[in-house]
Amino acid sequence: PVRYAKDPLLSGYIGDQRLVEMGEQPAIIAERHGKGAVIRFANNPIFRGFWRGTEKLWFNALYFGPVIRSTELPK
């Protein structure tokens, strides 16, 4: 799975508690649901078109959803 780094803050501001909560947690989780797939993003990859290149993540989830396997999360 796609995970945040242990220290995910590169720039800007994030509260201390949220920084601890995000560290090493999944950023994208995929699950099979019936004949389809549910792909969950921790953040909106196309928010206001701000980040260059992240729309590819969204398009891949949209078009390749049927062939994406479920995420194996440790218990």
Segment 10-57, tens digit of pLDDT? 888 989 998 888 888 988 888 888 888 888 888 888 887 777 788 888
Confidence label for 75 from pLDDT (cuts 50, 70 and 90): low
Euclidean distance between CA atoms 26 and 66, whole angstroms? 20
Q: State CA 73 to chain mean position distance.
A: 13
Structure tokens at 72: 């194996």
Confidence label for 74 from pLDDT (cuts 50, 70 and 90): low
DSSP, collapsed to helix, strand or coil, labels residue 55 as helix
Give me the phi and psi of 39, to 5 degrees please.
Answer: -115, 115
pLDDT of residue 17: 92
